[in-house]
Structures are given as C-alpha cells and as structure tokens.
C-alpha cells in the first residue's frame, strides 16, 4: 500500500481531493453497473473514509446506484470519482483520477462473470467471478 499523500481531481477540476493514508492496490471491476456507468471496466483503488479530504466539491454529486452502494461523480464534466459501499467501510477511488505518479500496482479482476464479450483478460492477475469473499478465483 502506498502511504504518501495522493492527490486527484475530475476532468474539469471542480472536484479536487487528497488522500492522507494508505491506498489499496488497484482492482479491476467488470460488473455490469461499472461497465454501463463508465463505458468499460473500472480500475479503482480505495482508502479509509477518514483519509479522503475533499479540497473542492461544489460539483460533486452522489448517485445511489444500488441498495448496497453509491457513486460519486462531477456534475459539471461527468467524471466518475468514487464508489462508497452502504456500510461505509472504505471509499473506492477511480485510479485514473489520481495525479501521477501513483506508486500503485494492480491486484485482481472482480466480477469477470459479467465482463464484456469484446475483450480478453490476459495480464495474469487473479480473476474472480464475483466478490472475492463470495467466490473462488477463476483459473
């Protein structure tokens, strides 16, 4: 986990943030909701909610995408930024919103049972059909 201060923002700069704490390695999510909301699969890191500090959030809006999570995005430019589970245990942050260098690495693919039929996953990372805690990795 990376422990330096990470900074990020949306495309227009209307939402800017810092993370003061460790970031989880990047997880690729292939679930239908992530694919529909982004146009492809998502790449997200995560932090403890108390480590995320919003520097500018006038255009930050939240969409309750399911009973179990909400998604944060910029209402001006449409950038997807955050995914927060209902239990509030962590805050996922879209890795592409972070300023580089991030120092992050990728760890796994989740919800590969829902992945699009137009691409293959060939990077050798573990692949899970759903949540890792609920399933066995696909080989």
For residue range 50-74, what is the model confidence (pLDDT) as tens digits?
999 999 999 999 999 999 999 999 9
Computed over every residue of the chain, the mean pLDDT equals 94
11 pLDDT exceeds 70? yes
In this prediction, residue 137 has a pLDDT band, given cuts at 50, 70 and 90, of low
139 pLDDT exceeds 60? no
pLDDT of residue 4: 73
1 pLDDT exceeds 50? no
In this prediction, residue 136 has a pLDDT band, given cuts at 50, 70 and 90, of low
In this prediction, residue 49 has a pLDDT band, given cuts at 50, 70 and 90, of very high
In angstroms, rounded to a whole number, what is the distance separating the alpha carbons of residues 114 and 32?
Answer: 6
Model confidence pTM above 0.75: yes
What CATH class does 6-116 carry?
mainly beta
For residues 91 and 53, is the Cβ–Cβ distance under 8 A? Answer: no
For residues 64 and 70, is the Cβ–Cβ distance under 8 A? Answer: yes
User: 101-132: per-residue pLDDT in tens?
Assistant: 999 999 999 999 999 999 999 999 999 999 99
Sign of CA dihedral 78, 39, 102, 132: positive
């Amino acid at each position: 986990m990376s422990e330096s201060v990470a900074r990020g923002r949306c495309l227009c700069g209307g939402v800017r943030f810092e993370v003061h704490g460790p970031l989880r390695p990047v997880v690729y999510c292939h679930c239908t909701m992530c694919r529909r909301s982004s146009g492809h699969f998502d790449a997200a890191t995560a932090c403890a909610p108390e480590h995320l500090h919003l520097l500018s959030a006038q255009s930050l809006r939240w969409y309750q995408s399911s009973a179990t999570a909400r998604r944060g995005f910029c209402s001006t430019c449409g950038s997807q930024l955050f995914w927060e589970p209902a239990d509030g245990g962590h805050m996922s942050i879209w890795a592409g919103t972070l300023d580089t260098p991030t120092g992050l690495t990728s760890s796994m693919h989740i919800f590969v049972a829902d992945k699009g039929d137009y691409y293959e996953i060939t990077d050798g990372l573990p692949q899970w059909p759903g949540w890792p805690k609920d399933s066995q990795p696909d080989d």
